[in-house]
Chain A
Amino acid sequence: ETGVTQTPRHLVMGMTNKKSLKCEQHLGHNAMYWYKQSAKKPLELMFVYNFKEQTENNSVPSRFSPECPNSSHLFLHLHTLQPEDSALYLCASSQLPGGESTDTQYFGPGTRLTVL
């Protein structure tokens, strides 16, 4: 399935590096999301964009900086990360909620990030 793609799939970076994660959705959706999944924890919502406008920042540290240039693309810019930021970063997209069956979120394969 190629509805939501993410690159890179794996990333190893030092604490002083700057890198970016990319997400692209081919589903015609108007909302995009960044989630973090750490071991033994539930998925944590980081950011929400509706019609490319950020509507939620879930108390995420400023070392994570999202960018949404259009409704199909979403970036997560990373700088001066900490080892505890190592996790699987998942992008998702959906239509905005309009009924029970229209707001399903579809996830990309994720970027597995390791911070040394």
Chain B
Amino acid sequence: RKEVEQDPGPFNVPEGATVAFNCTYSNSASQSFFWYRQDCRKEPKLLMSVYSSGNEDGRFTAQLNRASQYISLLIRDSKLSDSATYLCVVRRTGANNLFFGTGTRLTVIP
């Protein structure tokens, strides 16, 4: 079983739509959780960390469900500039290496 699993998409949504991405992780010892964004032919960049209580940053909301080993990212009022691949990332307790999902491709259409 893969360490991190994501629906690869693609998700094609109109501007202004709300879109949600889901991710599951297999190792219950995972401690830190992140969403990274990667634009085409660019490096991954941190979008937001995901905290146990859930957290929000503008139009972006991240949720963590430890019992189900499930992470989500909600994007409200989608912009054209949100088009990218969104990577779900986890780190295990006691380790500093990250495990990446394959990413979910989002295209926001005018």
Contacts and interface: CB of A to CB of B under 8 A. Distances in A.
B4 A50 contact: no
Given A94-B96, A97-B32, A104 B101 contact: no
Interface-central residue, A42, A50, A96, A103, by most chain B CB under 10 Å: A42
A101 B97 contact: no
Contact of A45 (B32, B44, B97, B102): B97
Name the interface size band of chain B: 20 to 34
B97 A48 contact: yes
Given A97-B91, A97-B96, A104-B49, A42 B43 contact: no
A21 interface: no
A106 B89 CA distance: 13
A90 B97 contact: no
Interface in B67-87: 87
Interface string B25-52: 0000001101000000111111001010
Given A104-B34, A107-B44, A109-B43, A42 B102 contact: yes
Interface-central residue, B34, B97, B103, by most chain A CB under 10 Å: B97
A50 B96 contact: yes
Contacts of A42: 2, 4, 87, 99-103
Given A106-B46, A108-B43, A45 B96 contact: no
Nearest to B103: A42
B40 to A, nearest CB: 11
A103 B96 contact: yes
A49 to B, nearest CB: 10
A56 B97 CA distance: 9
28 contacts: A31-B96, A40-B102, A42-B4, A42-B87, A42-B99, A42-B100, A42-B102, A42-B103, A45-B97, A45-B99, A48-B96, A56-B97, A58-B97, A90-B43, A97-B32, A97-B91, A97-B95, A97-B96, A100-B31, A103-B32, A104-B34, A104-B46, A107-B43, A107-B45, A108-B43, A109-B42, A110-B42, A112-B41
